[in-house]
Structure 1
Amino acid sequence: MSAGQTGKKIALVLGFAGLLAFFYFSGLGRFLTLATLKANREALALYYADHRLLMVGSFIGVYIVQTALSLPGAALMSLAAGAIFGAFSGTLYSVIGATVGATAAFLATRYLLHDMMQRRFGERLEGINRELERRGLNYLLFLRLVPVFPFFLINLAAALTRLPFRTFFIGTFLGIIPGGFVFCNAGASLASVSSLSEVASPRVLGSFALLGLFALLPALYAKFRERGENHE
């Protein structure tokens, strides 16, 4: 690796570290509460009525940074989107912000660590890499739809494999639409929401798990058929 590449990687790491340090030491996290959102909803809605483009652009920008840095508050951001923009527009803006932020995290991790990971574990990961190159969209949709897998870990893990960038982008965009709509729809009726946990009820989580299984079925079927052909 050249000195220039090393310098760029160090600068990128320091930049991310600086932004993380600013968030945690500035105390911004104390504003990421449901109570704060409810108290300021009317003021945010009035500001949006007078400054629509600025509000939309600012919201998407904040969501991108929040997702790229894996900061807490994604669920609250989606509730806020529904409360300010409405269920459908809020879903669109949230999904755009989350997808671009996740893509930034994916690209940064791939730039920093992918080559090292492949050099060290390339042979062990070869089977996984081949499978992801062929049917990565199905696996990624499953991971995005089933909410037991942390969002930021999927971004990082995918970057360390040979999952194609296009597959990551499309799978992320499509896979987070259902969850985004659920939270934005709840945000549109913010007064009735008393906690974030009641939005992600067991029934809703079960529905996401079922969608995830449907997304995974084509890959499972292909694997089963290939295994049968190899035994013939």
Structure 2
Amino acid sequence: MSIDLKKRIIIGVLILSIIIIMNFFGVFEYVSIDNAYKIKNYIHKLGMLGPIIYIIFFVIGCVAFIPAPPMAIIAGMAFGPINGSIYTCIAALISDTSAFLIARYLAKDIVQNKVKTNKSLGKIDNLVKNHGWRILIITRLVPGFPYMLQSYAYGITNIKFKSYILASWVLTIPGIIAFTLVGGSVGCSENINKIFICLAIGGVLFTALSLIPKLLKKKYDFI
């Protein structure tokens, strides 16, 4: 059996295992904003295990391409804006690391084939060669570059892991805080002052994040 075939079998087994586990725990049924209160109650019942279970499911979900914003909002509801942001930042760091390492050491051929079919992602390898780690900052902030697919795509470039993970994590934090603040405003419905504070800070972050892509597009004509 060739090494490539072994890698494909391992990846297939991992993906199947993740799907089975997520289906067993009802993740596909519950991971939506409509069911956020059910998830919040479920997490509360877990007590001290709640943050650990949340981080595990966040990582599995992101690696399997479940959108992160709904999960960040749920974290804000379940744990509050501060703790929710901390737990989600940890989970995002693990998710970015996992996707990068999977692409670099386990599924390079699979990721290369996927990148070839996506024009935006297909540019990343050449952009990294010409602009280095700075291109990571741009692609993380400009819409049109799917976030988790980026994480896999960077794994097959020559970018250094330290540069990738540091830049990715720092650039992810503002968005995480914004979404967890939204969730936090819903979770603290009994306190009007907290609701306004959470929504105000979240609104400022969303506004700032929405302006960055426009500024970058003006400065860099290759975006």
**TM-score normalised by length of structure 1:** 0.68
**Structure 1 gaps, min length 5:** 193-197, 221-232
- Determine which of 2, 8, 11 is the counterpart of 1:10: 8
Alignment-mate amino acid for residue 70 of structure 2: L
Task: Give the match for residue 84 of structure 2.
Answer: 90
Judging changes above 3 Å, is the alpha-carbon distance between structure 1 residues 186 and 64 closer, same or farther for their aligned structure 2 residues? same
The reply on whether 1:104 has 2:98 as its aligned counterpart is yes
Once residues 61 and 149 of structure 2 are traced to their aligned partners in structure 1, the CA distance between those partners, rounded to angstroms, is 14
**Residues 109-141 of structure 1: CA distance to partner in whole angstroms, max 9, x if unpaired?**
122226995xxx9xx998544335xx31x3222
**Structure 2 gaps, min length 5:** 117-122, 190-198
CA drift at 1:166: 1.0
Task: Give the match for residue 108 of structure 2.
Answer: 113
CA drift at 1:91: 1.1
State whether residues 79 and 188 of structure 1, in contact with CA within 8 Å, keep that contact through their aligned partners in structure 2: yes
The reply on whether 1:29 has 2:32 as its aligned counterpart is no
Once residues 14 and 86 of structure 2 are traced to their aligned partners in structure 1, the CA distance between those partners, rounded to angstroms, is 26
Aligned residue pair count: 199
Judging changes above 3 Å, is the alpha-carbon distance between structure 1 residues 60 and 164 closer, same or farther for their aligned structure 2 residues? same
Report the 3-state secondary structure (helix = DSSP H, G, I; strand = E; otherwise coil) of the residue aligned with 1:55.
helix
Judging changes above 3 Å, is the alpha-carbon distance between structure 1 residues 142 and 88 closer, same or farther for their aligned structure 2 residues? farther
State whether residues 124 and 153 of structure 2, in contact with CA within 8 Å, keep that contact through their aligned partners in structure 1: no
CA RMSD of aligned residues (A): 3.8
Once residues 9 and 106 of structure 1 are traced to their aligned partners in structure 2, the CA distance between those partners, rounded to angstroms, is 16
- Determine which of 163, 173, 178 is the counterpart of 1:177: 173
Task: Give the match for residue 71 of structure 2.
Answer: 77
Report the 3-state secondary structure (helix = DSSP H, G, I; strand = E; otherwise coil) of the residue aligned with 1:161.
coil
Alignment-mate amino acid for residue 64 of structure 1: V
Q: Where has structure 1 moved over 4 Å in runs of 4 or more?
A: 23-27, 114-117, 124-127, 201-206, 212-217
Report the 3-state secondary structure (helix = DSSP H, G, I; strand = E; otherwise coil) of the residue aligned with 1:77.
helix
Alignment-mate amino acid for residue 64 of structure 2: L
Once residues 174 and 167 of structure 1 are traced to their aligned partners in structure 2, the CA distance between those partners, rounded to angstroms, is 11
Task: Give the match for residue 153 of structure 2.
Answer: 157
Alignment-mate amino acid for residue 189 of structure 1: S
**Residues 199-219 of structure 1: CA distance to partner in whole angstroms, max 9, x if unpaired?**
xx99865521434577899x9
Judging changes above 3 Å, is the alpha-carbon distance between structure 1 residues 14 and 115 closer, same or farther for their aligned structure 2 residues? closer
CA drift at 1:40: 5.0
Alignment-mate amino acid for residue 14 of structure 1: G
Task: Give the match for residue 224 of structure 1.
Answer: none
CA drift at 1:9: 0.9
Alignment-mate amino acid for residue 38 of structure 1: Y
Judging changes above 3 Å, is the alpha-carbon distance between structure 1 residues 98 and 216 closer, same or farther for their aligned structure 2 residues? farther
Once residues 91 and 143 of structure 2 are traced to their aligned partners in structure 1, the CA distance between those partners, rounded to angstroms, is 18
Once residues 116 and 86 of structure 1 are traced to their aligned partners in structure 2, the CA distance between those partners, rounded to angstroms, is 36
Report the 3-state secondary structure (helix = DSSP H, G, I; strand = E; otherwise coil) of the residue aligned with 2:145.
coil
Alignment-mate amino acid for residue 81 of structure 1: A
Alignment-mate amino acid for residue 36 of structure 1: N
Greater Cα offset, 147-156 or 14-23? 14-23
Once residues 208 and 74 of structure 1 are traced to their aligned partners in structure 2, the CA distance between those partners, rounded to angstroms, is 16
Alignment-mate amino acid for residue 29 of structure 2: R
Task: Give the match for residue 193 of structure 2.
Answer: none
